[in-house]
Copies of this chain bind each other. A is one copy, B any other.
Amino acid sequence: MKSEIKQILLDLKNDKISLDDALLKIKKKPYEDIDFAKVDLHRTIRQGIAEVIYGEGKSAGQITDIAKAMKENGQECILITRLNEEKFLKIQKKLDITFYNKAKIGIVGNMMEPDGIGKILVVTGGTSDIPVANEAAVTAKALGNDVMELYDVGVAGLHRLLSHLDDIMNASVIIAIAGMEGALASVIGGLADCPVIAVPTSVGYGASFEGLSALLSMLNSCASGVSVVNIDNGFGAGYLASMINHMEVKK
């Protein structure tokens, strides 16, 4: 996390590491030029987060090269999202990588230790929304969060949702994932006392128009404290939830 850099500075100040080691640890170059992609190594400094590679549209070879460059620059946790099994099998021949099949996420290095303010609750309206939820959950876990999952509790069977009132009220951040009419976000937004990140999914047919219905629904939520990310963007929700769950006093 951001505190990683902070920790290096602290260690330096407390004579736990030498100045040269600190310098080595703080990346020298804002990015490494590997021709087809400009790997952003400085983001770790700015945002203190594990580095992320968006796997879709990149070949196994390209992903391997980028991940290697990151690793050589000291990155300890690298997430590869939208990764399919076929590419994973190729990558693992060259890199030590763990594959989370349902979430379509590969992780090079280790998940961070949970050190957030509280728990992140990932909720879905239906069973078809679960792949997006998995992406969110694995992302949040990798970034150092306690994650609780609560699936298939859509508003058409309200008692399923209400029987988990304790979880909803004790969560620090909630990720509400739903397709079709996307009503879940509003209902949870009305119950919870914490930020709710709404993720519309492309689940549905006909007038769901590939997620547009859920997206508009969530944007128009009459509940306060709800904000929205792109359709099917489980990673984005998990990342933001982790950021919120690691809020700390500046200066």
Contact = CB atoms under 8 A, between A and B. Distances in A.
A224 interface: yes
Contact of A152 (B38, B202, B205, B214): B38
Contact of A24 (B1, B169, B213): B169
A157 B217 contact: no
Contact of A36 (B24, B159, B181): B159
Tell me which of A189, A197, A227 has the highest count of chain B C-beta atoms within 10 A of its own C-beta: A227
Contacts of A42: 29-30, 157, 159, 169, 193
User: Which of the four size classes fits the interface of chain A?
Assistant: 35 or more
Interface in A106-124: 117-119
B240 A158 contact: no
B207 A230 contact: yes
Chain A at the B interface: mostly helix, strand, loop or mixed? mixed
Contact of A157 (B38, B185, B215, B216): B38
A216 B213 contact: yes
A232 B205 contact: yes
A220 to B, nearest CB: 4
A21 B74 CA distance: 23
B28 A30 contact: no
29 contacts: A1-B29, A2-B23, A5-B23, A9-B26, A27-B193, A30-B42, A30-B159, A30-B160, A30-B162, A31-B160, A36-B130, A36-B162, A38-B169, A47-B224, A49-B224, A57-B128, A58-B127, A125-B222, A155-B183, A155-B223, A158-B187, A180-B222, A181-B185, A181-B216, A183-B217, A187-B187, A195-B243, A206-B210, A207-B216
Q: Which 3 A-B pairs have the closest CB atoms?
A: A206-B231, A183-B183, A36-B159
